[in-house]
Structure formats: C-alpha cells, structure tokens
Structure 1
Amino acid sequence: MSGVAAEFGELYGHAPDGVWAAPGRVNLIGEYTDFNEGFVLPLALPHTAVAAVSRRDDGILRLHSRDVDGPVVELGADALKPGGVDGWAAYPAGVVWALREAGHAVGGADVHLASTVPTGAGLSSSAALEVVTALALNDLYGLGLTRPRLALLAQRAENAFVGVPCGVMDQMASACAEDGHALFLDTRDLSYRQVPFDLAAVGLRLLVVDTRVKHALGDGAYAERRAGCEAGARALGVRALREVDAAQLSDALGRLSDETVRRYVRHVVSDNDRVARTIALLDAGDVRAVGAVLVEGHASLRDDLRVSCPELDLAVAAAVGAGALGARMTGGGFGGSAVVLVDADAADAVAGAVRAAFREAGHAEPGVFTAVPSGGARRLG
C-alpha cells in the first residue's frame, strides 16, 4: 500500500485521500451462465488491483498505471463517452461515466493504479480495476452504494463503455467475496451465499494454471455466444436459459433447429446443473467428488460451447493424467487459465506434470499457483 501511495505523491504532487484494493477472481464452476441469469461459484484471489485516489471537484480525471508504460491520462469527466477512451484507462474511466450516467454526483479524481492480477488470463483483471475505482469513488463522494450496486455499475462500464458484453459474475466476486469462502451467486437477482471453501482443512488444493495464452473477449467470439444463447431463449419462449431445468433439457433441445444454438443451450443448462451439484457436494462435505464435476464441465466448454484451446485441453489432460481429482478451463476461454483440484501432497507433482507436458508440446511454460479464497474489495488506508 505504501508503495502505491508514495508513487501517487510523486506523480501528482500531493498525498492520496486513500488507498483501496479489489481482487481478481477464479471461477470454480458455472461458465457463460451469468448472462443467462444463471448460477456461478467464483472465489476471489489474493491478487489485487490497488488504487491510490484523491477526489477532485473540477471535473478532471487523471489516470495512471504502474503496470503500463506511458504518461498520466487526463480526461474531462463531462466529455466521457462510450468508445472514447482506449486501452486500460477505459476501465476506470468507464466507471466514472457509469456513475455519472446513473445520476451520482461524481466530479473528477486523481488515480494511480497497480495490479498483481495477471492480464488476459481469465482471472478478471478488468473487473478488479473497475471495482477498485468504484469503491474508491463511492467512499470519496459519499455515495452510499451497496456492493451489489457497485458491481452492477462496474459491469455497465465494461458492457457499455468498454464494449465487452460480460455478465456480472466477475464484478460481484471482486466486490462481495469473503476470505475462506466461494460465492454462490444467483445472477438474476444478485442474491448470494458465502460457501465455506477451506480446502487446506481437508487436505486439498485448488491450483490455477495460467496457460500464458492471452484472450481478448472484445473480438466477437464472446458476443456471438451470448447472442446464440439469447436466440435459444427466444426460441424456447423463456426470458433466459436459467428457466430451463436440466430435467427438461432433452425436450428443449428437440425444439431447436439450429445446431450451434443447441450446443450453447446444452452447455448453459448443464452448467447451471453442475453448479447446483457442486454446492450440494460442498454442503455435504464431499469436496473430493467436485473433481469429476470439473472434468465434465471442461468437456462441455470444449465440445458444446467450443471456447477451449489446445493449451487449456493439455493442461486439463495432463493434470488429470498425473492424478488430479479434476480440472477444467475457467473464464471466458480462447486461452487464459484452468483450475485443478488436487490432493495437497500431490500438488507439486501435478504442477510438474503440466509444465512437462507444455514443454514437450513446445508451448511456453505455464504459470501455476494455489488459489486461496480471499476477501473482496476493501479500503486499505
């Protein structure tokens, strides 16, 4: 914290009003279900975006990131408009725009950011930037907004200002997660339950394998799948695919003529069911059995949604082949990361097997770390 605050002082010539942090997240199960008003089970990571921020009342927004070469980006809060800001600065700028569009009296700010959330790894580095900015401005301007409301505004920034049609899971996990828990979220009404997820207590670990393959969800693939899911809901006469129960899936698929839409619907309905099954296993204390659900989920993402890639498939296969209880790709896909559920005493061997498989295939060495369920956005000082 002190490093970011000191850098802020060097940049802007005065001390910040405060320092805030918001985490990235990894999703245990429930992929591409959030924009279908379905269920998800993410957990926050210890990796965070940290922001030193001071309020300005002259309508000037100044943004700087330790992690990106370049000068301070200076913008007029009144002049912010969707598509008008490029690169990383669009995420915090979009939050200011979304707050103002919602009628909140936000003027300007001086902001200095630093993040340890890997970018392009499917771990919600963008949501962390959005949520930390939203929380800081909420505090500095005394807006009194709830965490779910801040998450919705951060999502609007990414959807309408940046142009990525993501669901609300990433922002909700970053804003609302608790230490030692996964967040069981109903994305229709944003109700949630903190589910105890202390893997160390039962001799397990959850590894994250960052394939180093960068994904870019603004390229149309994500939007195409969202549109396909919405087309499926319309064809089935429901508001969203969350209304199709797993027991009704076979009948629903028989009513769809477009094979691509059929695949998307099959994935979403079955992944909602996998979230429910995972919650039941965790509530029953049968954590080891979650591994098989992860493997099933990966097959659905690979074959029905078709958002995996060779590196993700290799990470999953190598981990399971080396004795992991289960594994699947996580996040939007086309690169990014996989999660691996493994016995704690086998974690190093499984990680080594994944790295060896990548070397043999000629891929760059993946990053591997343990996902520790961590707290959501907070003020540091």
Structure 2
Amino acid sequence: MAVDRLLPTDEARALIELTREVADKELATRVDDHERGDGMYPEGLFRTLGETGLLGLPYPEEYGGGAQPYEVYLQVLEELAARWATVAVTTSVHGLACFPVATFGTETQKQEWLPRMLAGELVGGYSLSEPQAGSDAAALRCRAEQGEDGDYRITGEKAWITHGGRADFYALFARTGEGSRGVTCFLAPGQTEGLTFGRPEEKMGLHAVPTTSATWDGGVVEADRRIGDEGQGLQIAFAALDSGRLGIAACAVGLAQAALDAAVEYANERQTFGKRIVDHQGLGFVLADMAAAVDSARATYLDAARRKDAGVPYSRQASVAKLVATDAAMKVTTDAVQVFGGAGYTRDFPVERYMREAKIMQIFEGTNQIQRLVISRHFAR
C-alpha cells in the first residue's frame, strides 16, 4: 500500500513516484532470491540507484547530488526499505560514508571524489567500530602513523563494516594521538595493499550485503585522503551519525510499513469462525496499534529532518527518532508474525524476514540504550 505523503514540492512528489517505480522493478522483484540462505550480492544494483540519482539526494547539485531536503531523502529511504531493507540500509550507509568529504572535505577533495560517489561509481562503507570499541568510539585503537613522506600507515582491527570487502572506499577513523581528540578521519580506498577483510558475519538478517571485520597491516593512505584536521575525527564521526541515525529511522519505518501492509492484506483474506480475521475486534485492535506505531515513528523522523533542513540543532531529535522508529519496527514486525499465526513463522511469507531484519536496527548506528544516554545527556546540560 503506497503511503499518502505530504511532500513540500512537485519535484519531491515526482521523486517519490520515481523511487516507487525503481523499487518495485529493481528491488521487490529480486529481494526473495537474494535474501535466502547466505544471500547473493545484488550486483550492479547500487550503480543503478546512482544512475537514477537516488544515492546522492541530500548533497549539492554542483557535485552531482540532488539538492533535496533531508525530509524528502528520508522518505525515499523509507520507500526502498519497504521493498528491501538491506538495500535501503546500505544506501543509508553510503550516504554516511559520503558525509565526511561533503561536510569537512576541502574543495579539491569534493571536486575529485564526490561526483563519482554520488553517481554510484564509487560505493562507500563506514569504518568506525572496532572489536573492543563499538558504542564507545573514543576507545579506538587502530592507529594511523604519518611517515616522512606525509602519508599515513594504518595498523589495527576494524569491525562491523557494512559492505565490507565490497565497497570502493571507506570513511575510516583511526588514532593519530591520545584521548578523544586523537582520532582522525580518512577516505580509505577499498583496495589497499595491507588491507584484508574477514569472513562475512553469519547474520540473522540483511543477508545480501556482507558485514565484515578488517585488518590493517601497515596499509598506506595518502596524505591528501585525510579528511579534516588531525584529531577532528570524532567530531566528524558524531556529526555523521546524527544524519545516519535518521537514515536508519527511515529504514525502520519502511520495514514496519511493509509488515503492516502484509498483515492487513492477510487479515482481509484469512477467515476464521465464518468471518475475516480483520473483523475480529481483538485482531483489529492489534492492527490499529501497529498503524499508530508506524505513523508515530514516521512523524518523529520527519520532525528531526525538518530541524536539520532548517539548520537548527537536531541531535537529540535524531536519537529520539532512531529509538522510537526502531523499537516500533521490532514491535510491528513481531505483531505481523502473530497476525499470520503459524504461517508467519514460515518462509512462505515475508513477515518472518521482516522481524529478523528489524532486530539489528535497534543495535547499529548506536544501540537504543546509547540513544537513551544521548537523550538524557541533553537534559543534563
């Protein structure tokens, strides 16, 4: 069921229609085959999304972006997630990986790299987490040591890299000094001597795109690939994560909407005791609660996005949106399985996949416990 959206311009409405056409043709027709078992990588799909302009929507036109408000970009992500959560999440991560160059890069760096990133010629990953530093980003140990030639040699372990081993570049965060101001951001090439990737994680869901660890064994990243100043890395990372959390919130809402749509369709077809199960009040109330959760979650991410678009602080609202939307997705997808009964526990219907995919959204881009910490710290200030 297409969501009736309130969009700010005719251009935005046309963009959503284009997104639906692309998502129905390129995503909905392929998702089941690619998400079965270990999954198959969706070869060529991200290039297709780039060619249609969907990878660079919130970035400036002068670099090949779409110059769209964030509230529109997030609704595009929601439409993608309603068809294929893995692709939507990876699209969000790509946007996250572009953020350091677009926001903190020099004009030369922007001109050199952004057009190819936004066109989908170069697809990115985000390499912040480490085996002992997930939520605690200040505990990073991976080091970048500058040689006499000015280039940096990277040594250490990274973890939980979406698109690991497949991405063309990574927004890499490594330690160049001590303390919270001792982390620096780099635009690391995906193919670098001294960079190897671990075996893809055997995940509960999101099978079609790998998540891996990485080992840097003295791999060289050229000096002109440092983004921002030395020691500015955590500032860049946290600024990017505010935007990234909104991306995940939108993906969670798209996933929850898909689960709600499937549950409503099934409830109108399935009959028990001589009538459709949607006509049983107990089941109807479940569907009503699911719909309320989806609509409320959408409202929270749109509120945060409009604050971002207006240039006012939105960090707390981004954490609220991520928390509310991903908790809602977990509840709604679980309830969708319940609506289907025993059939929902089988792979004959997509709701069991939706439930598995929803779980990770409460974890990455900062666990929901971390979101509560971020929100509470705003009040402590």
> So what's the TM-score if we normalise by structure 1?
0.27
Q: Which structure shows the higher helix fraction? A: 2
> So what's the TM-score if we normalise by structure 2?
0.27
Q: Which structure shows the higher strand fraction? A: 1
Return the structure number with greater relative CO, CA threshold 8 A, min gap 6.
Answer: 1
